């Protein structure tokens, strides 16, 4: 039986193994595995789209893993099947990743109605991994009706998770900053729901943080997001809640707010529009990745790169000039190979090198 069939028909531990193998196939960088992954996703696609996708983000130490575990157990008690995709940062020095978030979810990780998959960020920016979108579809096809994406610890600009999920939840600490910090744009203005976690540590600080963030969200609504500024019951207004994941306090009000959000979005068409934008964003992300991969493996670029690296590193050539020359060399070569510049964009997938093995990534030469 193929990978898609195993994901759809297997049950219990066999299905968990099938999901793990499917996601591993999707995360592979081998050209033949990419082709198999595309075929598998095409087969799974009719069985996707029925889950609720939630992104949980926040700074390191805010309690994302603890919150997700208690939330996951809370939802399982209410009849849901929960899949959790955790993203662990990859080392910029060694390239390795600890993948330790799963160890923080001891109870949830062994529950038969839950599936947890840690993945390395692999240098992908935005708080997610390169194949997080594809992994969500595999979990949906396997019958998980709640899919939670836990991002890496983020700052103010890591917002990719908001573009691939139905609801973006931002966790904050009670002493996260002052009023000015609260109104800085970035990840805050994309949040559909802001949660002050660890409210039990300092109730007064949590109350102040809630008031500051509520005020900031109101300002965001009045500037650049008129839909949030209207007092219209058919439009979701971002809210701020307090809870303590460690004590399991505040989960019911949190899920009530999530359920209201889902109802409002489905009623006003926002849900369908967000899913449409997710699909388009996924397509353009894959195009960008394919073009970048093709550029790095192009023979002319590989030929010019060592000298360009030496010239830029030695201060003899501006980086912008070197980049422009490399891009021009790639465009000229692609035009000659395809018969015209209009066909360049269609070569986004990385062809195998001689002998069927994928060509090495020239990014490995950066630290040479």
Give the end of a domain, one of 242, 268, 294: 268
CA atoms within 13 A on the CB side of 353: 11
Q: State pLDDT tens for residues 102-124.
A: 778 889 999 999 999 988 876 56
Using left for φ > 0, alpha for ψ between -120 and 50, and beta otherwise, residue 315 falls in left
pLDDT number for residue 131: 85
Residue 285 burial by Cβ neighbours in a 10 Å radius (0-12, 13-18, 19+) = middle
What is the band of 164 on the pLDDT scale with cuts at 50, 70, 90? Answer: confident
- Shared-domain flag, residues 188 and 322: no
- Shared-domain flag, residues 192 and 335: no
Domain presence at residue 264? yes
**Where is average pLDDT lowest: 152-156, 222-226, 241-245, 360-364?**
360-364
Domain presence at residue 98? yes
Domain presence at residue 17? no
* CA distance to 53, 64, 206, 210, per residue, from 248 (Å): 22, 13, 16, 19
Domain presence at residue 26? no
Domains identified in the chain, total number: 2
Q: What is the mean pLDDT of residues 346-361?
A: 39
Q: State pLDDT tens for residues 319-333.
A: 999 999 999 999 887
pLDDT number for residue 203: 87
- Two structure tokens written together for 94: 């060694």
Give the Cβ contact number of residue 100 at 10 Å.
11
- Two structure tokens written together for 298: 């192009």
pLDDT number for residue 337: 64
- Shared-domain flag, residues 107 and 150: yes
Please check the confidence at residue 185 and state whether its pLDDT lies above 90.
no
Please check the confidence at residue 24 and state whether its pLDDT lies above 80.
yes
Give the end of a domain, one of 249, 268, 287: 268
Give the end of a domain, one of 250, 268, 286: 268
Burial 157-196 (b: 16+ CB within 10 A, else e): ebbbbbbbbbbbbbbbbbebeeeeebbeeebbbbbbbbbb
Q: State pLDDT tens for residues 236-265.
A: 888 899 999 999 999 999 999 999 999 999
Q: What is the mean pLDDT of residues 53-81?
A: 92
Site of tokens 């910029």: 92
pTM of the model: 0.79
Please check the confidence at residue 3 and state whether its pLDDT lies above 70.
yes
- Shared-domain flag, residues 284 and 360: yes
**Where is average pLDDT lowest: 109-113, 215-219, 330-334, 354-358?**
354-358
Domain presence at residue 38? no
pLDDT number for residue 323: 94
Q: Which CATH number belongs to the domain containing residue 259 in this structure?
A: 3.40.50.300
pLDDT number for residue 126: 53
Per-range mean pLDDT, top range of 50-54, 149-153, 347-351: 50-54
- Domain housing 138: 50-268
Average pLDDT taken over every residue of the chain: 81
Contact by Cβ (8 Å): 39, 75: no
Domain presence at residue 41? no
Alpha carbons 40 and 29: distance in angstroms, whole number: 16
Please check the confidence at residue 100 and state whether its pLDDT lies above 80.
no
């Amino acid at each position: 039986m193929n990978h898609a069939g195993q994901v759809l028909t297997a049950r219990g531990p066999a299905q968990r193994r099938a999901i793990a193998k499917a996601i591993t196939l999707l995360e592979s960088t081998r050209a033949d595995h990419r082709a198999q992954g595309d075929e598998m996703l095409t087969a799974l696609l009719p069985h996707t789209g029925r889950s609720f996708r939630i992104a949980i983000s926040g700074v390191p130490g805010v309690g994302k893993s603890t919150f997700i575990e208690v939330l996951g157990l809370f939802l399982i008690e209410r009849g849901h099947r929960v899949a959790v995709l955790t993203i662990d940062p990859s080392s910029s020095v060694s390239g390795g990743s600890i993948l330790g978030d799963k160890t923080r979810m001891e109870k949830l990780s062994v529950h038969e109605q839950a599936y947890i998959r840690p993945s390395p960020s692999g240098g992908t920016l935005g708080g997610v991994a390169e194949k997080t979108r594809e992994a969500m579809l595999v979990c949906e096809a396997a019958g998980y009706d709640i899919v939670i994406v836990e991002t890496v610890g983020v700052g103010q600009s890591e917002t990719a998770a908001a573009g691939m999920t139905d609801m973006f939840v931002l966790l904050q600490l009670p002493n996260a900053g002052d009023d000015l910090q609260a109104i800085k744009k970035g990840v805050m203005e994309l949040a559909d729901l802001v949660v002050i976690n660890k409210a039990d540590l300092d109730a007064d600080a949590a109350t102040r943080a809630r008031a500051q963030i509520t005020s900031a969200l109101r300002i965001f609504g009045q500037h650049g997001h008129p839909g949030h500024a209207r007092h219209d019951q058919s439009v979701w207004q971002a809210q701020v809640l307090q809870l303590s994941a460690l004590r399991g306090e505040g989960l019911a009000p949190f899920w009530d707010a999530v359920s209201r959000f889902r109802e409002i979005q489905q009623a006003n068409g926002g849900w369908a529009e967000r899913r449409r934008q997710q699909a388009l964003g996924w397509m353009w992300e894959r195009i960008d990745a394919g073009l970048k991969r093709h550029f790095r493996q192009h023979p002319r670029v590989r030929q010019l790169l060592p000298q360009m690296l030496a010239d830029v590193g030695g201060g003899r050539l501006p980086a912008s000039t070197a980049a422009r020359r490399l891009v021009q060399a790639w465009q000229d070569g692609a035009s000659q190979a395809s018969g015209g510049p209009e066909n360049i964009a269609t070569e986004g997938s990385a062809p195998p090198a001689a002998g069927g093995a994928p060509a090495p990534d020239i990014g490995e030469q950066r630290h040479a």
